[in-house]
Structure 1
Amino acid sequence: MVVNVTSSVTLAPMPLAAAYTASKQAIEGFTGSLAHELAAFGVRAKLVEPGYAPTTRFSQNIDFAIEDMIPEAYADFAAPIFAAFANPPMTTKETDVAEAVFRAATDDTDRLRYPAGADAVALAA
């Protein structure tokens, strides 16, 4: 069993995330094809797609504010997006991701995608 973790940005277009989305879409395409290729050997490949998880430590991977990367010409466009990120109506917890990974790893069906977290589940619907 191969379980790759991508992101809910692959479920719906989101502003200010083009490069990030492209990298996650690449993993999605790779895993989808891999699932077909490995099936002949009895190996499954699955995708876990977590939503926005502000309580994780992923944001500590950089030592600058994302807002500082926004060119001045985009500032008016970006401001309400960052404001919405500051108060999301739904988020993903670490336990949501762990549960989705477990479901994916123990599911013997051909299901490929497992959204993780209330926001990802809503996007997937």
Structure 2
Amino acid sequence: MNSKKVWLVTGAGRGMGVDIVKAALAAGHDVVATGRDLAKIRNAIGDHDSLLIASLDVTNPVDADAAVKAAVQKFGRIDVLVNNAGNFYGGFFEELSAAQVRSQFETLLFGPMNVTRAVLPVMRRQRSGLVVTISSTAGITGLVFCSAYAAAKFGVEGWMESLAQEIAPFGIRTMLVEPGFFRTDLLTAESTTYAELSIEDYASRTKETVTAWKGMSGKQGGDPAKLAAALVALTAQDEPPARFAAGADAVEAFEAKANTLLAQANAHRELSSSLAHSPEYAAARQA
């Protein structure tokens, strides 16, 4: 790909999406900034000759197709897709409704799938492209109060790892980005929905957890502008990483999960390795 690329960024009206768009524009790229509220994107980013603002609700495949069509009409191609749009349903699993869990998956997993499905034909024709999906350390290791969010992000991880192998023959790469805690809008009332208190056994823990998470909003350690600059730098590499741990806390989460998996693999290694089918065992069972 040329040094100047065409980016399509979802969730560009607030939070990390704004920083990603600004960083890409500052690096000299053309950017299609998408979101549900065009005025909000325009107010957050301003006007720029290399900017196209397009309407996109990631849960709507028709929107995704229209945004991709507009991008190609304006810039002729799409080189970098950044699946960034997201929200957060916080709560203990039993207190989250089935509708809330489904809604979490619609935005965090099916949303990126909708947009990627619309972009891939363009990248296949080009025989080049990079699909960047913002996951989370919650996609690496489960967290209390994050069962729906983590389940969706774990889904993102498996989907992207599998997709990477499917589209590599067409010159298309993927990059998973797992941020730790960054000072974004994710924990604000606009992005977060907390489960209603409904089960007495969870009541005190729910109140304590909600208070703690609300108190953390705006005080997270990570700087989203620095992460955006890092993403611009990584996408410029000939071989972007398949997975990027964003933040010191993310590196720690990666290491802890790797060590846990190794320990679990070794804990019952002999039993795990003895489960191959054998005629003798089958015969003994039938005797």
Verify same fold: TM over 0.5.
yes
How many Å separate the matches in 2 of 1:6 and 1:63? 16
How many Å separate the matches in 1 of 2:250 and 2:197? 25
1:102 aligns to 2:232 (yes or no): yes
Aligned to 1:114: 244
Q: 1:98 to 1:36 in 2, by over 3 A?
A: same
Equivalent residue of 2:250, what SS? helix
Q: 1:45 to 1:57 in 2, by over 3 A?
A: same
Q: 1:92 aligns with which of 222, 227, 234?
A: 222
- Deviation, 1:82, is 4.4
Equivalent residue of 2:202, what SS? helix
Contact 2:176 2:243 in 1 (8 A): yes
Which segments of 5 or more consecutive residues in structure 1 lack a partner in the other structure? none
Aligned to 2:185: 57
Q: Could you tell me which amino acid in structure 1 is paired with residue 144 of structure 2? A: P
Per-residue Cα deviation, 1:48-106 (whole angstroms, up to 9, x for no partner): 111122x3223242486x3x634343123335544654459973221243134224423
TM alignment of 1:1-125, pairs within 5 A: 1-53=130-182, 55-58=183-186, 59-62=188-191, 66=194, 69-71=196-198, 72-82=200-210, 85=213, 86=215, 91-109=221-239, 111-125=241-255
Q: Could you tell me which amino acid in structure 1 is paired with residue 204 of structure 2? A: D
Equivalent residue of 1:61, what SS? coil
Contact 2:178 2:244 in 1 (8 A): yes
How many Å separate the matches in 2 of 1:63 and 1:41? 38
How many Å separate the matches in 2 of 1:118 and 1:34? 27
Q: Percent identity, aligned pairs only?
A: 30
How many Å separate the matches in 1 of 2:226 and 2:250? 10
| Higher normalized contact order (CA 8 Å, seq sep 6+, divided by chain length) | 1
Which segments of 5 or more consecutive residues in structure 2 lack a partner in the other structure? 1-129, 256-287
Q: 1:99 to 1:63 in 2, by over 3 A?
A: closer
Q: Could you tell me which amino acid in structure 1 is paired with residue 173 of structure 2? A: R
Could you say what the CA RMSD is over the residues aligned between the two structures, in angstroms?
A: 2.8
How many Å separate the matches in 2 of 1:90 and 1:63? 15
How many Å separate the matches in 1 of 2:197 and 2:251? 29
Residues paired across the two proteins, number:
122
List structure 1 runs of 4+ shifted beyond 6 angstroms: none
Q: Could you tell me which amino acid in structure 2 is paired with residue 56 of structure 1? A: T
Q: 1:25 to 1:63 in 2, by over 3 A?
A: closer
How many Å separate the matches in 2 of 1:90 and 1:61? 17
